[in-house]
Amino acid sequence: MPARQPRRTLRLAVALATALLVAAIAAVPAAAVPVAAEPAPISVVSLGDSVSRGTASCTTKADCPVNSWATGSAPAVQSIATRLQELAPGSAVTTANYAKSGSKIRAVAAMVATAAADRVQPDVVTLLIGGNDLCHGDIYPAADGWTMTTEAAFSASASSLLQQIGRTWPDATILLSSVPDVASEWSGLRGGPAEAAWTKNKLCRTTRGVTDTGVLLAGPAQTASAAAAALRTQQYNRALASSCDAVGPRCVWDRGAFTATPLTSDIVSTVDWFHPNTRGQALIAGVLWGPQRVPAWAARFTAEGSTPVPSATPTPEPTVAPTATPEPTPTPTPTPTAAPTPAPEPTLTSPPTPEPTLAPTASPTPSPTGTIAPEPTATPPASPTAAPESTSTASPPSTPGPTADPTATAVPTATAEPTPEPTTPAPTPAPSPTPSSTASPDATPTPAATSTSQPTPTATAPPAPTPTVSPAPTVTPTSTPTPSATPAPSAAPTPTPRPTASPTPTPTPTPTPSRSATPTPTPTPTPTRSATPTPTPTRSATPTPTPTRSVTPTPTPTPTPARDTTAPIARITSPAAGSTVAGAVTLVAVSDADTASLAFWTGKVRIGVAKQAADGTWSVTVSTSGFAKGPHPVVAKPVDRSGNTSTSAAVTLTVR
């Protein structure tokens, strides 16, 4: 009966150690799971006229925005929005088409205001305008007599519009198109079904040489009308280019590329014979995107999918885990428990037989001690013999106290050999890692496992269970040689209380369980620690992708805003100056390599637009029947891809 109290004490100590261990584990913060930031969405807003609305590109004359070169989603078109999506697959590309069919440049300001009221925040704003300023049927003749928006009015509207867009969306890229070359479109369509459609809808009257009342001009008057439309196209382009330059590098001008693109009959809708069909819309998208796979203005969107790698931050947290584990070790529970148990246990010494098995178990904990202890036990059959083996490492100081009574046992002399084992005390520091091991012993045979794992927490557990186990033969508690162990330390007092480490054997009695339990826990602590540091470096590597983002900005300072202001130089090579011509005559000129178009003029009358031959020369064949007989000074006017133009030296030809 008196042994009950120590048992309760042991149980309390074990419970306390377990609680401390659980608290320590709970205190370890869970490693934060890195979450990659979602790529930023890309917004595209389209402004302009019916071309941007995809009018007549489906099966009717209605708008068909799905085919829009700017915001459409039709695979055959490969719009600007579609290309941006392919460029940044991780980003969500959204579109808003505010273009309106029939709009002239002065109407676009209202579109910007509407989009701003809708709280749209675009990354890219596309603008294609000017076709209706050249061709709309409701334009009355201006002071110059032509049914087109004047140069001054167009320039004023272009300047204020581009400034408005820049102020409204200061971070947006403005993709600005040049004016469509309706003259080239008309030259490819006239004489067919398109001519009737253009006449009916009063389209491009100045380009076709028709008055505001629908009267078809003839001869020089018609030529002069067409020439005025071509000149107005160039004036519009200059106004757009200069307004774009004023906004800054965010405004990307196509340098007249769209104007220089011939609008052939195969890209015109057969629904109204005026607007571009699906192929035409794809052509515009390709011209505005440019020849590069990733144009400079779009380079900033390529890095949006790979940005996020904040995972590096959580890595330090795992390292905390190891620090937390040592906290349980300080628990002083083991020392008290070892001392109380031995006192009552002497009676239990009877089961010396299991102790041979102890030897193996002892070896795991303090490998040398355990093995020596069994040998002495074998020689002295007396109950005390068990004591030597069970040299309790767990509680050196406490054991001496209780052993004082049993010192009489002669067997302690055998324990003298264990005395050298004071070296074994060195292992006792191992307790620090043991916290983990304690948990495992508790599970098997609460006492045995805990005692075996000499580490601080474990020692406590074995004694407590020993009493309880005594009822059950199988349980190591019966073999609680701890009592006998107490005597052993008493003999050993002389050498050093440390030898008392023999308590370790107490758990060893547990034949199989204690053995398996003890070895496993001891090694486990070591790996756990080393493992935690390893992940830390691997994680830190993740930030490497971040630098890639910084590289993308470099393309932005592309010299897009810088315009080519050098005009092309042309020279008429045939006919020679002073020649007399009659009937059909072929005019030939040469010009710079970047020339986009070239026309022959006499005075204010445009004779005709030349076509470039394979050898690079520009030529046009015209009839002299529309010209008065006599001398006519003929000049060539080339236009390069940036919209620059010049006039060649005049060649005088005499018509007879």
pLDDT 10s digits, 93-120: 999 999 999 999 999 999 999 999 999 9
CATH number at residue 169: 3.40.50.1110
Q: Cα 59 from chain centroid?
A: 41
State the pLDDT at residue 198: 94
Q: Are residues 510 and 465 in the same domain?
A: yes
> pLDDT band for position 624 (50/70/90)?
confident
State the pLDDT at residue 556: 53
> pLDDT band for position 508 (50/70/90)?
very low
The answer to whether residue 235 sits within a structural domain is yes
Query: pLDDT by residue (tens digit) across 461-471?
Result: 444 444 444 44
State the pLDDT at residue 197: 92
State the pLDDT at residue 609: 87
Q: Are residues 482 and 577 in the same domain?
A: no
Is residue 60 within 8 A of residue 53, CB to CB? The reply is: no
Number of domain units in the chain: 3
Q: Are residues 178 and 118 in the same domain?
A: yes
Residue 627 has pLDDT above 80, yes or no: yes
Q: Are residues 457 and 493 in the same domain?
A: yes
CATH number at residue 599: 2.60.40.10
> pLDDT band for position 316 (50/70/90)?
very low
Q: Cα 196 from chain centroid?
A: 55
The answer to whether residue 307 sits within a structural domain is no
Q: Are residues 251 and 147 in the same domain?
A: yes
Domain end marker among 463, 494, 524: 524
The answer to whether residue 54 sits within a structural domain is yes
Q: Are residues 182 and 289 in the same domain?
A: yes
Q: Can you give the residue range of the structural domain that contains 251?
A: 42-300
Tokens of 161: 């519009």
State the pLDDT at residue 27: 56
Residues whose CB falls within 8 Å of the CB of residue 153, separated by 6 or more in sequence, listed in order: 106
- More confident call, 437 vs 261: 261
Query: pLDDT by residue (tens digit) across 8-56?
Result: 666 777 777 777 776 666 555 554 555 556 788 999 999 999 999 999 9
Among 20-24, 79-83, 136-140, 650-654, the range scoring the smallest mean pLDDT is 20-24
Residues whose CB falls within 8 Å of the CB of residue 270, separated by 6 or more in sequence, listed in order: 277
Among 13-22, 146-155, 456-465, the range scoring the smallest mean pLDDT is 456-465
Q: Are residues 518 and 586 in the same domain?
A: no
Q: Are residues 511 and 599 in the same domain?
A: no
Residue 385 has pLDDT above 80, yes or no: no
Closest by CA position to 158, among listed 65, 230, 253 = 253
State the pLDDT at residue 369: 41
Is residue 331 within 8 A of residue 23, CB to CB? The reply is: no
Mean pLDDT in residue range 316-343: 43
Mean pLDDT in residue range 257-273: 94
State the pLDDT at residue 606: 82
- More confident call, 364 vs 120: 120
Query: pLDDT by residue (tens digit) across 559-594?
Result: 544 667 888 999 999 999 899 998 889 999 999 988
Q: Are residues 289 and 258 in the same domain?
A: yes
- More confident call, 278 vs 508: 278
d(CA 260, CA 281): 16
Residue 649 has pLDDT above 70, yes or no: yes
Query: pLDDT by residue (tens digit) across 542-563?
Result: 455 554 454 445 555 555 446 6
CA distances from 541 to 314, 546, 551 (A): 12, 11, 19
Residue 244 has pLDDT above 80, yes or no: yes
Q: Is 295 helix (H, G, I), strand (E, B) or coil?
A: coil
State the pLDDT at residue 381: 40
The answer to whether residue 548 sits within a structural domain is no
The answer to whether residue 52 sits within a structural domain is yes
- More confident call, 198 vs 397: 198
- Computed over every residue of the chain, the mean pLDDT equals 72
Mean pLDDT in residue range 425-440: 41
- More confident call, 445 vs 146: 146
Among 148-152, 211-215, 481-485, the range scoring the smallest mean pLDDT is 481-485
Query: 0.75 cut: is pTM over it?
Result: no
Residue 419 has pLDDT above 50, yes or no: no
The answer to whether residue 356 sits within a structural domain is no
CA distances from 394 to 333, 336, 371, 446 (A): 10, 10, 17, 16
Q: Are residues 520 and 611 in the same domain?
A: no
- More confident call, 572 vs 487: 572
The answer to whether residue 305 sits within a structural domain is no
- More confident call, 429 vs 292: 292
Mean pLDDT in residue range 74-90: 95
Mean pLDDT in residue range 387-407: 40
CA distances from 107 to 48, 49, 98, 115 (A): 9, 9, 11, 13
Residues whose CB falls within 8 Å of the CB of residue 378, separated by 6 or more in sequence, listed in order: 356, 385
Q: Are residues 198 and 243 in the same domain?
A: yes
The answer to whether residue 32 sits within a structural domain is no
Residue 499 has pLDDT above 50, yes or no: no
The strand ranges marked E within 117-221 are: 124-128, 173-176
Q: Are residues 8 and 70 in the same domain?
A: no
Tokens of 271: 């629904």
> pLDDT band for position 261 (50/70/90)?
very high
Helix extents (H) in 310-455: 316-324, 334-338, 354-362, 367-372, 374-378, 383-389, 400-403, 412-415, 435-443, 446-452
